[in-house]
Copies of this chain bind each other. A is one copy, B any other.
Amino acid sequence: MSQEENIKEKETIIIQAARKRFAHYGFSKVTMDEIATDVEMGKASLYYYFPTKEDLFRAVISQELNELQKNIELIMIEPNSASQKLKSYVEQRMIFFQKLLNLGTLSVHAYFDTKSLFKKIFLDFADVEMSLIKKIIDEGKKSNEFNPDLNDNTAEVFLHILQGLRCNVLRWAKGQGIDDDIRVNLQKEMMIATDIFIHGIIKR
């Protein structure tokens, strides 16, 4: 194994251990000491790979994002209608946010904190999403499944609806946090909104 492969492997082991801890206890409650113990490494060695807990956390989130992106690529190559692709994408998106919640990332506070660690990650992710939705809608227009005269901003509006439904829920949840009822209801609203939206852009 080359030194580079060796580093990569160590990183993967650390990220997996951290992921488990974060998912169990939430970001804020986990210490670097605990993660070092999990991977049977000295604290100094751990810091060599990840200088701060934030760096490690960012690596965990990046991994989740990569996974999401792979799932989205699968959606795109499946021989489904554009409507079905849009639905599958919304489902994958909800699963992803559920994971973030479990990891303790998406606290109501972190969500609205403009200086949050995760703002850049979320912004980059929004770009990926935007081009994906555009692609699906263009596909649907070309195949005559969707109305070809759709407004150019249709993809943008759809993404903003999805983002907005979550924003709205978290806004009212501020100070309380997000319980299971709120989560389930949000997912339900997203599916209803998606269904109506698809109906609304399908060609008659």
Chain A residues at the B interface, C-beta cutoff of 8 Å: 112, 114, 151, 153-154, 156-157, 160-161, 163-169, 171, 174-175, 188-189, 192-193, 195-201, 204
Given A151-B192, A171-B167, A199-B200, A112–B112 Cβ distance below 8 Å? yes
Query: Which one of B151, B164, B196, B199 contacts A168 once the chains associate, using CB atoms below 8 Å?
Result: B164
Chain B neighbourhood of A160, CB < 8 A: 164-165, 168-169, 189
Chain B neighbourhood of A196, CB < 8 A: 154, 157, 197, 200-201
The 3 closest A-B pairs by CB, nearest first: A164-B164, A200-B200, A196-B200
Chain B neighbourhood of A167, CB < 8 A: 164, 167-168, 171
Please state if B114 and A193 are interface contacts (CB–CB under 8 Å): no
A-B residue pairs in contact (CB < 8 Å), sample of 17: A114-B175, A153-B189, A153-B192, A157-B192, A160-B165, A160-B168, A161-B193, A163-B168, A164-B166, A167-B168, A167-B171, A196-B200, A196-B201, A197-B200, A199-B201, A200-B200, A204-B204
Chain B neighbourhood of A114, CB < 8 A: 174-175
Chain B neighbourhood of A195, CB < 8 A: 151, 200
